[in-house]
């Protein structure tokens, strides 16, 4: 199981193997814990001292016969020590943020923005003269990419995740507000209704007063209906989030 030339894969397979031994024979727990520490420290030494980062990236990405890469094993065994190494930081970032150079600004194509930003960065060159509207711009070569481009959306998981987070935050806040409003109005209507019933039972209410009260309550009920409808629709929107589970 652990006979390969990939040191990281070997380490994670050893961890997996030791965990299985521990699960099968609980008496070995202490010994396995010690061995796991040894494996982790050796793997960390390899990650720190490995000369070429590209090589180690390939090692980490390599899949085993179960179709899993080393990263998934590291996550499974909570190997925080290995995940905190410099090279793993780069690899996980590359996975999550993509390896695209998205250091550019969203407003990078704006002439006015560039004039301003170059002024504030003390780059006292005449940007305006060299970038007038008739000057051709080769966006592929000259423009610095940013994380809002199509390809960045495709490759960067973090961009897609961030957009989902923002949408969900808006949905949550809107839903919370509507439900609060509904709840407030519902309790107001309830107390009004109870008071009205008590007054009616005590005979303290006239026909005209009863009609007026009914009209008010009907208005309140309509408002409640509207708020409930919005809350219901927002809750239905939340059903689109689990669709991802079906697709993945």
Binders of other proteins in range 59-88 (CB under 8 A): 71-72, 74-75, 78-84, 88
Q: Does 230 engage in binding with other proteins (CB under 8 A)?
A: no
Pick from 48, 154, 198, 216 the residue near other proteins by CB under 8 A. Answer: 154
Q: Cβ distance 188 to 146 under 8 Å? A: no
Start-to-end CA distance of the chain, whole Å, equals 29
CB 74 within 8 A of CB 14: no
In this complex, which beta carbon is closest to other proteins, that of residue 25 or of residue 241? 241
Is 41 an interacting residue with respect to other proteins (CB under 8 A)? no
224 binds other proteins (CB under 8 A): yes
Q: Which of 26, 51, 202, 203 binds other proteins (CB under 8 A)?
A: 51
Confirm or reject binding of residue 105 to other proteins (CB under 8 A): no
Quick one: CA dihedral 146, 152, 153, 156, positive or negative? negative
CB nearer to other proteins: pick between 24 and 140: 140
Determine the distance from the C-alpha atom of residue 236 to the mean position of all C-alpha atoms in its chain, rounded to a whole number: 21
- State the Cα–Cα distance between residues 54 and 61, nearest whole angstrom: 11
Check residue 228 for interaction with other proteins (CB under 8 A).
yes
Tokens of 41: 């420290």
Distances (CA, A) of 202 to 188, 195, 197: 21, 11, 9
Containing 186, the helix (H) or strand (E) segment is helix 157-201
Helix (H, G, I), strand (E, B) or coil at 240: helix
Q: Smallest distance from the beta carbon of 52 to other proteins, in angstroms?
A: 8
Q: Cα torsion for 12, 1, 58, 147, to the nearest 10°?
A: -50
Question: In a 10 Å sphere around its CB, with 0-12 CB exposed, 13-18 middle and 19+ buried, how is residue 159 labelled?
Answer: buried
Q: Can residue 54 be called a binding residue for other proteins (CB under 8 A)?
A: yes
Residue 37 lies near other proteins (rule: CB under 8 A): no
Binding mask 182-221 for other proteins (x = CB under 8 A): xx--x--xx--x--------------------x--xx--x
By CB under 8 A, which span of 5-13, 14-22, 126-134, 200-208 interacts with other proteins? Answer: 126-134
Q: Least distance (Å) from other proteins to the CB of residue 38?
A: 18
For residues 21 and 217, which CB has a smaller minimum distance to other proteins in the complex? 217
| Residue 232 contacts other proteins per CB under 8 A | yes
Count of residues that bind other proteins according to CB under 8 A: 107
Per CB under 8 A, contacts with other proteins among 3-32 are none
């Amino acid at each position: 199981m652990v006979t390969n030339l990939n040191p990281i894969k070997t380490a994670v397979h050893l961890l997996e193997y030791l965990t299985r031994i521990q699960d099968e024979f609980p008496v070995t727990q202490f010994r396995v814990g010690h061995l796991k520490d040894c494996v982790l420290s050796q793997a960390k030494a390899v990650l720190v001292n490995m000369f070429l980062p590209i090589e180690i990236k390939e090692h980490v990405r390599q899949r085993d016969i179960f179709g899993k890469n080393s990263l998934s094993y590291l996550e499974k065994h909570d190997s925080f020590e290995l995940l905190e190494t410099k090279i793993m930081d780069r690899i996980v970032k590359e996975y999550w943020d993509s390896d695209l150079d998205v250091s550019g600004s969203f407003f990078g194509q704006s002439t006015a923005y560039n004039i301003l930003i170059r002024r504030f960065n003390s780059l006292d060159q005449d940007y305006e003269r060299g970038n007038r509207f008739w000057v051709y711009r080769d966006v592929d070569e000259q423009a610095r990419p940013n994380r809002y481009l199509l390809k960045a959306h495709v490759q960067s998981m973090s961009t897609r995740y961030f957009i989902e987070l923002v949408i969900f935050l808006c949905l949550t806040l809107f839903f919370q507000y509507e439900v609060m409003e509904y709840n407030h109005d519902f309790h107001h209507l309830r107390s009004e209704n109870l008071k009205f019933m008590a007054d009616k039972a005590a005979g303290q209410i006239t026909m005209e007063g009863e009609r007026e009260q009914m009209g008010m309550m009907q208005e309140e009920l309509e408002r409640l209906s509207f708020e409930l409808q919005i809350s219901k629709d927002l809750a239905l929107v939340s059903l689109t989030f689990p669709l991802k589970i079906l697709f993945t």
